[in-house]
Structure 1
């Protein structure tokens, strides 16, 4: 039996506090050919669950919250509870697939069983099929969610047993004692450092924000849209202007939100804060099913008209947040929370998830996906589509996932308040096209004709 970490428990509390949301993280693999038969897929799932014990475990809560929720083996585990089959209606194109994905994002995972499911989708146009893997955010973050999808694919190391999450109960007594001693000795300095680092972030999230149509109540239904880019082109933009792939992606998202605001008749002059999860996961923990994320808040320069100036502003603001120490401070807070009595932690979590935040307007997360070409039952995986839930008054989330030489933006929106979600996807692609055109122009401009370097 393994206890859930405070962050994992927070995602359970968040879903329980709002009946309109489902916190399943999903990845859709679009695959060539036709799917294997049910018996073959069932056998594959059973094998994966043997190698990854978390897939056989459900959450058990303690009475009166005297202890943290725990992962316990499900004695009634059956692969058939987690494997479903469907087929797209004609014409089986991307629009129909997007509608199915949106519908799946609305459905909660069964809390009485292990918190994941697998959906096989037949009859995609172009002689293709798809598989959608969903797991609760209490069980995976973006990176471990993609790793879970990879475990369903063919592997040259299929016999490897996946590592389990490390929990305090599995650590030696000497290690626990030394860790507690270190924390107690470091406590005064940690407290000051955390307060200094987290105060601006907490105020930005909890304080009043500029009114935005992207922040507000959320209904039950979802919309889903896709934007695509070539990774080499995004890297070329970054090289031309001294930016990272993540900077370029966030700049494109900024252009898209700016376009939607203008279309809605809102002047994009006020600050728009976006939550950007930041992975704290080491390479050795890639296959561990848990959450190892922190977050930073960045202000999107939606007021900037020029695409290159917008990218430069994004780069500066993201770097400023990254260097502020807020993400490391948040990680330390979560580590310290594991040593507090759980009733106090539970009370704090419930206060946070019930608080109607108005300072953040969106969430954007960038997940590095596999660079190698995947196959499933010897059928090539053509594309990976990331699917993030929405919650806490954030009416849109954008997940960015790389796979081989492609970058895909998976956009989830509230159905009623985001009828223009396709403007977001088109805005991302247009924003990247603008930057690529400027990067190509800069590459062909003689040095004497260029402006001064930043």
Structure 2
């Protein structure tokens, strides 16, 4: 899907911006040594894999092969900010880097080592095609390349760290060399698969009925596939991107979560909704009805090491039609609680199937954006808001302290804004990425979410 979606304007890569403070004893050539050390180490799967047939974009079957002529200097690059090296200069550089395509004839990732930040700091901008890994997997891999010990000096770059192998089952569940036993076990697995498939189909049918037909009780709060208003977020996008960041103390969101019986994610949605309300009002583009967000949901079992993609989705209101911040949070909380309760009754396979059915009408939304003709019916969603849980302890790379993790995601035709949250240590980090030509002055939206957080805190005291 992510390979098929690659166009001159819609680029299917995600990224992360990681600012660091180097150790006090860092030599002047600290970054050069970092890159040289990584160059001497083996590049591990999946970072050495490329598409077998990259020029056949719409091949019915894509596979990965090992790049036997891996070019380290192409994938790992150094950049420097113009003085004064502040957040504005960093945002401009990342916006430019994120606007460029990945070369799909090579392993689809790049790492940019950015120096010249204020105070002698530096940043890593990691850019990865979504076909290679999802956000969950990327965070697991990042975690394996960092340390909680500031004195550690043997850390390796993420592409030098092997993925842990899944342990094989032992005892009664282990594979047998007996062909009869193996055959019986295989037949049992087929039967189990058929049973699981029937169960998933039932779950899916029930979920679609609850979402599209039933409007009683908790199910009445679930957003369906045709409830999003027309907005400037649903236009055709250009190839140009704009990136903005925001960071809040995690305890501020946690306190509001406890006060209102909401999740941290609900609180984040409420302040983003408040920020969007002001941002769109400034542009004279605030719809009468609430914007609807598409929320990706991780469907991996706990402890999964990751790899590939495994995500479902729900739709939720952003409360942009509600002025009162407490009321906005209450509406969002009720809606997400109902949607999550529905997913909890479903198998992972059913969740993915349900998500596909829920988002299928977005094809018309994308076509409308491409042609400039809005359909007479409502949109499926207006924007995407993701939450990727990150490490809760401060992390270090060879003595350099990681200050934040800012996600950089994917806008597409019909969805000109994508916002991703990522918790790290005692902070919540927000990355806003949008079409530069459709959403001017995107940094203002990041600022307005801060205003919305203050308003919610004031109304809750």
Does the pair score TM above 0.5?
yes
Alignment pair present for 1:195 and 2:214: no
Alignment pair present for 1:293 and 2:325: no
Deviation at 1:335, TM superposition (A): 8.1
Alignment pair present for 1:31 and 2:54: no
**Equivalence for 1:13:** 4
Find the aligned partners of 1:107 and 1:431 in 2 and give their Cα distance. Answer: 33
Q: Is the 8 A contact 1:278 1:327 kept in 2?
A: no
Distance 1:377 1:177, change over 3 A: farther
Find the aligned partners of 2:308 and 2:266 in 1 and give their Cα distance. Answer: 26
**Equivalence for 1:361:** 382
Q: Is the 8 A contact 2:292 2:382 kept in 1?
A: yes
Alignment pair present for 1:312 and 2:322: no
Stretch of structure 1 that moved more, 194-203 or 378-387? 194-203
Stretch of structure 1 that moved more, 376-385 or 237-246? 376-385
SS at match of 2:78: strand
Give unpaired runs (5+ residues) of structure 1.
1-9, 337-347, 442-454
Aligned with residue 149 of structure 1, among 142, 153, 159? 142
Q: Is the 8 A contact 2:3 2:57 kept in 1?
A: no
SS at match of 1:360: coil
**Equivalence for 2:456:** 435
Alignment pair present for 1:181 and 2:191: yes
What TM-score does the superposition give when structure 2 sets the normalisation length?
0.79
Give unpaired runs (5+ residues) of structure 2.
23-27, 168-173, 176-181, 214-222, 355-359, 370-378
Distance 1:176 1:413, change over 3 A: farther
Distance 1:381 1:64, change over 3 A: closer
Deviation at 1:309, TM superposition (A): 1.0
Alignment pair present for 1:249 and 2:276: no
Deviation at 1:38, TM superposition (A): 3.5
Deviations 1:415-441 (A, max 9, x none): 1110031231112111111222233x2
**Equivalence for 2:107:** 114
Deviations 1:86-122 (A, max 9, x none): 1011121100100111111111211111111110001
Deviation at 1:243, TM superposition (A): 1.1
What TM-score does the superposition give when structure 1 sets the normalisation length?
0.81
**Equivalence for 2:408:** 387
Deviation at 1:65, TM superposition (A): 7.2
Alignment pair present for 1:404 and 2:425: yes
Find the aligned partners of 1:184 and 1:297 in 2 and give their Cα distance. Answer: 29
Q: Is the 8 A contact 1:367 1:402 kept in 2?
A: yes
Aligned with residue 44 of structure 1, among 38, 42, 48? 38
Distance 1:230 1:335, change over 3 A: same
Deviation at 1:355, TM superposition (A): 4.9
Deviations 1:192-248 (A, max 9, x none): 331332467699776484211111101010111112210011101111111111110
Deviation at 1:184, TM superposition (A): 2.3
Aligned with residue 413 of structure 1, among 434, 441, 448? 434
Q: Is the 8 A contact 2:201 2:350 kept in 1?
A: no
Alignment pair present for 1:226 and 2:250: no
Question: Which structure 2 residues correspond to residues 89-100 of structure 1 after superposition, within 5 A?
Answer: 89-100=82-93
Aligned with residue 60 of structure 1, among 52, 57, 60? 52
Q: Is the 8 A contact 1:386 1:399 kept in 2?
A: yes
Deviation at 1:41, TM superposition (A): 1.9
Distance 1:313 1:184, change over 3 A: same
Stretch of structure 1 that moved more, 321-330 or 190-199? 321-330
What is the CA RMSD across the aligned residues, in angstroms?
A: 3.4
SS at match of 1:274: strand
Deviations 1:297-326 (A, max 9, x none): 112222221111111111001111112239
Deviations 1:2-60 (A, max 9, x none): xxxxxxxx111111xx320222211111111367344542433664733xx11111122
**Equivalence for 1:323:** 341
**Equivalence for 1:22:** 11
**Equivalence for 2:218:** none
**Equivalence for 1:341:** none
Find the aligned partners of 2:308 and 2:212 in 1 and give their Cα distance. Answer: 24
The structure whose residues are more often helix, as a share, is: 1
Distance 1:296 1:179, change over 3 A: farther
Alignment pair present for 1:372 and 2:372: no
Distance 1:64 1:312, change over 3 A: closer
Aligned with residue 129 of structure 1, among 108, 122, 126? 122
Distance 1:196 1:49, change over 3 A: same
Q: Is the 8 A contact 2:227 2:292 kept in 1?
A: no
**Equivalence for 1:345:** none
